[in-house]
Structure 1
């Protein structure tokens, strides 16, 4: 096809396949996913050190991160309702475009050394677009893969993300040291725009036409809440990750760079994050072929390893020890991610997936601003070491508690019903 021609959408009345890479729609989704994750992998390091360079304050970094997180949480449920009501590919194209524009604004502020207060509204816009994107992506895989292809699709997507995590942080560290974090953020902005082009090449089937008897969006959100709240195996994991995300976003994402500035430096911190990405890539590559019929027990048990890097961070461990612990945590986190995504796509109806996923995301993320805003205060009052070590211990406890539920341990990915 000549480059001047308009792209031809890939469409099918039944896109789901047990061999997802044979589906053109999945290949375009996979390509767009890979591109956007390549840019996003650089963003945490670039933003953290860019804000610290501009302000010299962990409190400013906390404020910028919270400025994105609070609007994201506030609009997450709306995102779930929109994703289940409208075509997910259309929503994804628009949100990718919005993320690209808002990240370009963040890059411009950092590159041109504008007042950091301008980062707050731009971060808020990015948070809203992310809130619309996340539930949308939760519901797309079952439309593109089926049967054994669901775990394969999840593993392939996670592998692409983790290749980005492996290479992106180190690249961001080098860019930050050489030309500043703003240019890495600019690359992230470009990745969102390129991803929007890829998502435009795929076309999911139209939603059934709505009738006068269909529930309103509020009624549909109530349906999602009823399903979510009546399944302890879902909300118990949501609560566990509410604790984990609060601690991780506060201790690892804020105290981590602040401690690294005085210990292992931006380059060392980038290597630690890359080691986590290497472990994650190993896990997701293995999960393309490895199948665990009842995965939730092993997955949550392994997730206790996610607390170890925080403890070592608090003890001011060197780069080698931190990288080793981060590698193990990466293996654990991605084993859990693929297992949880596969369980989700098999046991939750596709028509409810985004709404129920929005409640899961909302519950998991709602307390993150508490961690982002309180950790710098707690570190000032008690010191960075006790806060980091305590955060690691809380992570271990949070991952073990859901395993007290027999219904969670019994979930079998070879059957379509949990009960």
Structure 2
């Protein structure tokens, strides 16, 4: 416990204990990751604490699922083409149904939407586990179940983004997003590691079952314990159609210049920086850094870097959010230069720091400036725009690198990121955006 947090007398100690149930570790952890003392107020709120626990369980299941499914396909004799189809079967419906998920997240109480989404993901994961219990898992059934899981994720993400402001005050939004970002980073590191251990010890089917259990914990937590403040329409007027709500969301998204500018930057980042890094990074690691072990260290440090978040609320959030995204290109730059492994690791740490800082600041800005009843739709437009070019980048990175070189493709991405950041920082709407 920090000295300032110690009770001044024996009479006040019981009051302090009631106010902060486990102060020692909470204060230590919060300060290690950079949060200020006010973050503890949010952690003390039962509603948010339970919601965060359920979210962590869901995240862990989602991050385990990709590793478990990959080894399940390969262990049953699946080819690389089969694996590509299985992974694409999840991404395609996720992209196609994002906008619909945004409308649903704004039409219905969001905690129920989250519960339904994770219930569907639970069923999908159980179905996949059942398929791989047989020596010859029918590929068509696996593809259908993966698509089912992708559809469920399209329901989850927009509703989740809209629910956060219902569980925290305006002053607490930045801390809430930072804490949830910390959970994302921890799950990004821990999920694949746990899945790898389970696959090695008990097999991929067991790992798939544990993924499903994670979704089950999330459903129970969100449905039975979390209370939201979703506003119901009590005016007696007829609710607009889903198509009209979709058009209204697009009009609002388009009217926010700062919002679509950052979304466009995100889309080009996924096309020119992140997709080439995912495809060519492992090849570069294999050729110059010793293979999978080094690659695993780099990706793990990327997640750990996300834990070094800012807990303070910046006065010019979009300037900070834009500036830190320059670090997203650091790993590509290190690999393009064939720098020492230590430099690549540092670059990955900086990229993780930039990613999580951007997420916390940008999410807070959206939640403060967008009406509560349109949040899920706006976030679905942001997600669709940001990730729509990613598959093209994944498909094109290999052929373009073969025609030129790996270093050239990675360097192009780095150059683009620097130019795009400069262009965004030059926009008055970015520089003048203030913290509420």
SS in 2 for 1:132: helix
Instruction: Give how far 1:392 is off.
Output: 3.7
CA-atom RMSD in angstroms: 3.0
1:268 partnered with 2:294: yes
Sort the Cα spacing of 1:267 and 1:157 in 2 relative to 1 into closer, same or farther, 3 A: same
Q: Distance in 1 between matches of 2:403 and 2:130?
A: 35
1:164 aligns with 2:187: yes
1:335 paired with 2:361, answer: no
Which range moved further: 103-112 or 75-84?
103-112
Match of residue 325 from structure 1: 347
Residue 122 and residue 313 in structure 1: after superposition, are their counterparts in 2 closer, same or farther (change >3 A)? farther
Paired residue secondary structure (2:306):
helix
Between structure 1 and structure 2, the one with the greater Rg is: 2
Q: Which residue of 2 aligns with 1:282?
A: 308
- Cα deviation for residue 191 of structure 1 reads 1.2
Match in the other structure for 1:242: 267
Cα distance between partner residues in 2 of 1:191 and 1:185: 10
**Conservation of the 8 A alpha-carbon contact between 2:317 and 2:433:** yes
Matches of 1:52 and 1:398 in 2, distance apart? Answer: 39
Correspondence for 2:254: 229
1:143 paired residue number: 166
The 5-angstrom pairing of residues 6-405 of structure 1 reads 19-47=41-69, 55=78, 57=80, 61-107=83-129, 114=137, 118-175=141-198, 183-201=206-224, 202-205=226-229, 207-209=232-234, 211-247=236-272, 250-257=275-282, 260=285, 264-283=290-309, 286-287=310-311, 290-314=312-336, 319-405=341-427
By how many angstroms is 1:52 displaced? 6.6
**Cα distance change of structure 1 residues 245 and 47 upon mapping to structure 2, 3 Å threshold:** farther
Per-residue CA deviations over 1:236-287 (Å, capped at 9, x if unaligned) read 001011112234553233444455566544443332222111110111xx42
Q: Residue deviations 1:201-232, cap 9 Å, x none?
A: 22324522474443212111221111110111
CA contact (8 A) 2:95 2:388 kept: yes
Change (3 A) 1:235 1:306: same
Secondary structure at the aligned position of 1:398 is classed as helix
Q: Give distance in 2, aligned partners of 1:258 and 1:56.
A: 19
Asked if structure 2 preserves the Cα contact closer than 8 Å seen for 1:172 and 1:270, the reply is no
| Long gaps (5+) in structure 2 | 1-38
**Equivalent residue of 2:305, what SS?**
helix
Question: Normalization by structure 2: what TM-score?
Answer: 0.80
Contact 2:60 2:211 in 1 (8 A): yes
Q: 1:362 to 1:303 in 2, by over 3 A?
A: same
Unaligned residue ranges in structure 1 (runs of 5+) = 1-16, 415-419
| Structure of greater relative contact order (alpha carbons < 8 Å, 6+ residues apart) | 1
TM-score, scaled to structure 1: 0.83
- Residues 1:407 and 2:429 are matched in the alignment: yes
Q: Any conservation in 1 of the 2:272–2:412 contact (CA below 8 Å)?
A: no
CA positional deviation for 1:410: 1.4
Q: For this pair of structures, how many residues does the alignment match?
A: 393
Moved more, 310-319 or 338-347: 310-319
Cα distance, 1:412–1:122 mapped onto 2, change above 3 Å: same
Alignment partners' CA distance in 1, 2:282 and 2:133: 20
Contact 1:45 1:169 in 2 (8 A): yes
Aligned-partner Cα distance in 2 for 1:376–1:200: 44
Q: Specify the SS of the correspondent of 1:282.
A: coil
Residue 330 of structure 1 deviates from its aligned partner by 0.4
Q: Secondary structure at the match of 2:307?
A: helix
CA contact (8 A) 1:309 1:326 kept: yes
